[in-house]
Structure 1
Amino acid sequence: MSSPAPRVFNAEETSQLIAFGPLRQHILEAASQYARGEIHSPDRQVLTVPGSRDGVLLSMPCTAQDICAHKLISLLPDNPAHQRPTIQGMVSVLDSATGVPLFVLDGPTVTARRTAALSMAGLQLFLEHEPRTIVIVGAGSQADGHVQAIAELYPEATVHIAARAQSWDKAQAFCERHAGLGIRLQVTDLNQLPEQFDAIITLTTAVEPVYHAPAVPGRLIIGVGAFRSHMVEIAPETVMNSLCYVDDLVGAKHEAGDYIQAKKDWSQVTTLAQAIESDIDYSRPIMFKTVGCAAWDLAAARCARAAAGL
């Protein structure tokens, strides 16, 4: 006897099912379960796509007692030339007890929103007070998710989109595109950042540091880009003078470019799960590097399941 076909949610529906507040809480809960071995999340598998220019297929399975989730993502750099998205894919969700497929979420939407929610978890854990001023470096799809998350969770905050002269128009267009969010958005010079700000979130694919300022207590650094070993967004000296945290230590050791390039001693890097269970020393500068893992996709799937009543 066959099971009913799982419901498939498009990008807009997926976005509506994983609001940032509940998603952040699901991620924090998943972090503790992952650390206790209650969630199984192996390293993602990367396969090249024959016939494409640097195209890859990413497979990220994850299992827990309640659900199983599998994110399958294609990344084809030639797609934009043919009016197709570079990144496409899905997150398939199954019931753990029966194996019955439950639903399918839009993969890029899940990735963007759980990545932003992870940064919001960093703001919640590693700042003594709610952020009033946030600097974002980058104006791409990850920045879209982050300003949406800030608008939902910290609507009183001012957000500066930091840009160099050659990317100023892109940053200005970004602010205009998101004017409807209702938060204060403005472009600022990357080389002349505001004198006072609570957090900086870097969202680039840089291979040279874009943030060189000294590590300062009370100013949180969240590094989201630099997801390969040769990439770097934060100056090594800034990294070395910070208390360093990471969402997933296993993945970080070969993906956290900022820490790898700084030659950070991994024994001095603390996980998100450990941070949840311990006191944070706010008197010292803090950096939170995120690399992502399938456990956060599973957290998003739980959030969507609860919202959809499935």
Structure 2
Amino acid sequence: MLISSPFAADAVLAAPTVCDPARTASLLDFHGLVDELARVALDYDAGRIVSPERLVVPLGDGGVMLSMPAAAHDIGIHKLVNVQPANARLGLPTIHGIVTVCDSITGRPLCLLDGPEVTGRRTAAVSLLAIRVLRGRAPEDVLLIGTGIQARHHLKALRAVYPHCRIRVRGQDATASEAFCTATGSDLVSPCGRETPEAVDVVITLTTSTMPVYDEPARAGRLVIGVGAFKPEMAELGGTTLLGSDVYADDPAGARHEAGDLLRAGVDWNHVRSLATALRQPRDPARPAVFKSVGTAAWDLAAARVAMSALAAGR
């Protein structure tokens, strides 16, 4: 049986739309991203989206090329990201990348999106989805630990979806925290010292630390989200927090290989639940919870859907 493509047949020969970082960002509204990620999480868990483990290929001077495909009934995506730490001394970005979007039926390339922008915005949106599902209500007081690129994306996401939320920032030192907060120009964003205020109801760690940057006793009603550690040797969250909390992961299979925090703490993997499980089975938001974000190309596919819808609407 011939399956029709959702994309116009008269555009078969059209060149794919190429989006620079600014255009890519304009297509990825955070409200739409969170909603689409919720749908994709359920589809991915049910096997309706294929997202294999990423392929890592070495590049010169210590760099790596990361290949991450995903496919669904409507579109397929391939994110190709080059990570080159040596670029710092050249004054160049450490990460370069692109997301290619194609029609699943014909294979025709439809769009090229900026890889770092897709990754940053969809990762922040995954954190917002975790807040929506695991907390059950809007956060009032959030602590961001880290002042890098992901911290900036999370700040944008929080201000877009929860504009009245207070945001505290803990950087590597007081100078970094102050500079980050001053750049926002918002009275709702302020530096935070080493002690976490009791009022904080969500903590989001956004560093590449190899030692825990947050290891406080689990607190009822507080959600802790670990984002930055993406290798087995990295660990942002400590065992005190993890072993006293309900633990969720966006992709538990990937977390077994990449979530250094969980590996070091020796969590019981039989009790690490997926984001899809949280979507299907509401939990008691009063219980302390940890959400570990490791990422999967399925989330990039969700972002590509949002971008394609925005393009189709003429945005």
TM-score range relative to shorter protein: over 0.9
| Alpha-carbon distance, 1:3 to partner | 2.6
Question: Structure 1: 5+ residue runs without aligned partners?
Answer: none
Residue aligning to 2:33: 23
Report deviation, 1:183: 6.2
1:178 to 160, 173, 184: 184
Partner of 1:287: 290
On the 8 A contact 1:47/1:56 being kept in 2, the answer is yes
Indicate the SS of the match to 1:78.
helix
Cα RMSD over matched residues?
1.4
Corresponding position of 1:169: 175
Letter in 1 for 2:65: L
Cα deviation code 1:27-55 (max 9, x no counterpart): 11000000111100000101111x31x20
Does 1:56 find its partner at 2:64? yes
Task: State the secondary structure of the residue aligned to 2:98.
Answer: strand
2:216–2:240 contact (8 Å) kept in structure 1:
no
Aligned to 2:47: 37
Structure 1 stretch displaced more, 76-85 or 251-260: 76-85
The answer on 1:91 being equivalent to 2:99 is yes
Q: In the aligned structure 2, how far is the partner of 1:253 from the partner of 1:8? A: 35
Structure 2 gaps of 5+ residues are 1-10
Q: Deviating runs (4+, > 6 A) in structure 1?
A: none
Q: Answer yes or no: is 1:47 the counterpart of 2:57.
A: yes
In structure 2, what is the Cα distance between the partners aligned to 1:29 and 1:128? 17
Matched residue type, 1:241? G
Q: Where in structure 2 are the equivalents of 1:1-310 lying within 5 Å?
A: 3-49=13-59, 51-52=60-61, 54-164=62-172, 167-179=173-185, 182=186, 184-189=188-193, 191-309=194-312
Stretch deviating more after TM superposition (195-204 or 168-177): 168-177
Give the deviation of 1:213 after TM superposition.
1.2
> In the aligned structure 2, how far is the partner of 1:234 from the partner of 1:29?
28
Q: Is the 8 A contact 1:156 1:183 kept in 2?
A: no
Check whether the contact 1:151–1:183 (CA below 8 A) recurs between aligned residues. Answer: no
1:6 aligned partner, one-letter code: P
Q: CA deviation at 1:281?
A: 2.1
CA contact (8 A) 1:162 1:193 kept: no
For normalisation by structure 2, the TM-score amounts to: 0.93
Q: Distance in 1 between matches of 2:231 and 2:257?
A: 7
1:83 shift after superposition: 2.1
Identity %: 42
